[in-house]
Structure 1
Amino acid sequence: MILRSICAAILTVFAIPATAAEIGGVCFANAWESCYITIDGPITPDTAAEFEAAAKTADGGTVLLTSSGGDPAGAIALGRTIRQLGLSTQIGRTEGGEPGPGECRDACLYAFLGGGEARLAAEGSEITFQWQPLVPDDPGPSSAVMATAYVIEMGADPAFLLRDDPSRPMSSEELGRHGITHVVERAFGPFTIEPYRDGIVAASKRLDDPHPYDRAIQLTAYCRDEKAHFLLTGVGAFVADSGDASVSYWTDKADGQSPAETKIEIADYRTWIGDKNSFIELSFDPDHMRDVEDIATLDVTFRMARVSGGTQWVRRDLTAMDRRMLRAAFTHCIRSPATP
């Protein structure tokens, strides 16, 4: 139905702007997450290749995009390049000390959909979409099929291709409803257990992708040598010899009171680097975690200087099964020596 409606709506082949987008970079502060790769202007068939070349030397994980549109097929190629590079997208342009509002019209929206973990719009940005055939000389079903397939590939709802009033700016509700703007929440999955030597370990794996200053990908819990341990595994060789380690957990309180927090400052820890990963093992008295089944939220943190990798942490709201897994790991101890 969507494809037939799109084909019926194709009345005009729109002209492609002659000018091309400018690609650059900007940092609003001395931090990786404040840096953006910028695209400003109409998208052409060459923009994807130009962007890929520029991204090799640019800082930041977000594309700051403002464009009046351009070539639809070129915008789809740009969107796929953005996704392959693992970048997020934000509609806006450089303005003062932070991203200011921008515009994203027509074909620009295809490029914007390339953002993986986050697609955001600076407040005040204007987003519109009017259908353009991807193949100017063939404005028939092939354009509709390719556009629909691409939008689904990027995780959005192709229904927005059929907007009844393409001149009307899209509202935040409309953007969210069609999955055009979205944020992948940082999250760790359920704990699972497995035998290890003569004991049991429990592990929770990260569901979203790590970042340069947030590389933790797994939390493992176990008991060994009469101590409880949490092991943070991070991607890459980055870990420092020293840092600030802590384990915090919250238990629910009755009568509508706020959850009670318990924080354990960890002085006994060690760090090491493997072939592809870094490891941080926090050790503490198992009595601190004796009431595991009362824990609602668990947070394990190791803070380092940003030049060493920044703060590595895992936070998870525990399910009843998570709590059983942790209790098993802290009860069935590994008796034999463990080495990294």
Structure 2
Amino acid sequence: MLGHYIFLGGAIRALGLKTEVGRSVKDHYGATVLLNNEGRCDSACAYAFLGGIERDSNSIDRLGFHRFYNPIDFIDMKLDYAGLVRSMAMEDTQKISALLVMYIVEMGVDARMLSYFQSHGFDSVYTFDLNDGLNLRIVTNQRFGSWYLEPYGKSIVAASKKVGSSSPYDQVYQVTTYCRSKSGKRIPYILLSVPLQDYSQPDDVIKEGASLYYETSTERFVVPIAASQIRGWKDKSFMQIEIELGKGGEEVLTQEDKVGLALNTGRAQGLYFYDGQISKKEKEMIKASFLHCN
């Protein structure tokens, strides 16, 4: 079975996909979505997880690794068969270990991870903490860094930048929140800054609208955003996508913890999206950007 999951991990890497641990459920619209705060990925599944070009850091405590063995190992330990059988068991175990090391190194993960659980029994599962998971590259950094405030004219904006290199499945470089005053009313916005590609056309990106979503421990809720609330333009080396949030969108960004925003474009490389865990302090920053308008 381990060989099949290693093959799966290689396929995940070849397709340029990211991995996260979760449970598939139906949302209010009947669509299948992933709740990434539930589910387990133990044993061979954990090795398939390593195939992700990005590996969700929030999944680290739901990954379980253990030593792999040939059933003959148990015969060897319990019945102490002749030396020939013992050597066969050792040879099989060495082959499995060599296969794992080659796969782990190929996936860009530190092979020292194996030493963490080699002293554990065959039937015990080892879970890494976040610090070790990041140091050993079992998981990668969150896609977006911490939110921060900066002045802009007479107002202030809140922003979060992409962490690490962009992949074809995640091309948003920065998200920015701010507000504008129109006819005495305060209008909240969020801006997605996307590096320009040869095929980048703002009109193609915005015509299908967007989805703002947030997750609880059991459900995902979606706040649809119409295409009429979105506009796009090219600015030097970036394509800027500005989305008018409305009251519902403002409440999601300033009150919920697990938040995401995706443009409903049929891009072959995947959606343009932001996805993040927003702390209480960061929500205060976003709230401030919605109160101090130009």
What's the offset of the Cα at 1:216?
Answer: 1.5
What's the offset of the Cα at 1:195?
Answer: 0.2
Report if the CA contact (8 A) 1:239-1:272 is conserved.
no
CA distance in 1, matches of 2:13, 2:194: 24
Q: Is 1:246 aligned to 2:210, yes or no? A: yes
* Per-residue CA distance 1:163-205 (angstroms, 9 max, x = gap): 579xx9x889359688678343654232111001111110112
Q: Secondary structure at the match of 2:149?
A: strand
Match of 2:238 in 1: 277
What's the offset of the Cα at 1:218?
Answer: 1.7
CA distance in 2, matches of 1:61, 1:311: 14
Partner of residue 327 from structure 1, selected from 275, 279, 287? 287
How many residues are paired up? 202
* Per-residue CA distance 1:192-245 (angstroms, 9 max, x = gap): 110011111101123354321321232110112533221112234253323333
1:255-270 map, 5 Å: 262-270=223-231
Higher strand fraction (1 or 2): 1
Report if the CA contact (8 A) 2:232-2:239 is conserved.
yes
Q: Is 1:182 aligned to 2:129, yes or no? A: no
Match of 2:179 in 1: 223
Aligned in 2, Cα 1:329/1:247: closer, same or farther, shift over 3 Å? Answer: farther
Match of 1:45 in 2: none
Match of 2:194 in 1: 234
Aligned in 2, Cα 1:303/1:263: closer, same or farther, shift over 3 Å? Answer: closer
What's the offset of the Cα at 1:293?
Answer: 4.1
Match of 1:139 in 2: none
CA distance in 1, matches of 2:190, 2:155: 15
Match of 1:106 in 2: 98
- Structure 2: stretches of 5+ with no match in the other structure: 1-6, 18-51, 56-94
Higher helix fraction (1 or 2): 2
Q: Is 1:195 aligned to 2:151, yes or no? A: yes
Match of 1:61 in 2: 16
CA distance in 2, matches of 1:258, 1:111: 35
CA distance in 2, matches of 1:296, 1:324: 12
**Structure number, greater radius of gyration:** 1
Report if the CA contact (8 A) 2:54-2:140 is conserved.
no
Report if the CA contact (8 A) 1:221-1:229 is conserved.
yes
CA distance in 2, matches of 1:329, 1:190: 15
Match of 1:173 in 2: 125
CA distance in 1, matches of 2:210, 2:148: 23
Q: Secondary structure at the match of 2:284?
A: helix
Amino acid at match of 2:244: S
Aligned in 2, Cα 1:158/1:250: closer, same or farther, shift over 3 Å? Answer: closer
What's the offset of the Cα at 1:330?
Answer: 1.0
Q: Secondary structure at the match of 1:182?
A: coil
1:24-39 map, 5 Å: none
CA distance in 2, matches of 1:176, 1:330: 39
Q: Is 1:207 aligned to 2:163, yes or no? A: yes
Aligned in 2, Cα 1:229/1:88: closer, same or farther, shift over 3 Å? Answer: closer
1:100-139 map, 5 Å: 105-106=97-98, 109-110=101-102, 112-116=104-108
Report if the CA contact (8 A) 1:199-1:332 is conserved.
yes
Q: Identify which range, 323-332 or 274-283, moves more after superposition.
A: 274-283
Partner of residue 273 from structure 2, selected from 293, 313, 323? 313
Aligned in 2, Cα 1:305/1:173: closer, same or farther, shift over 3 Å? Answer: same
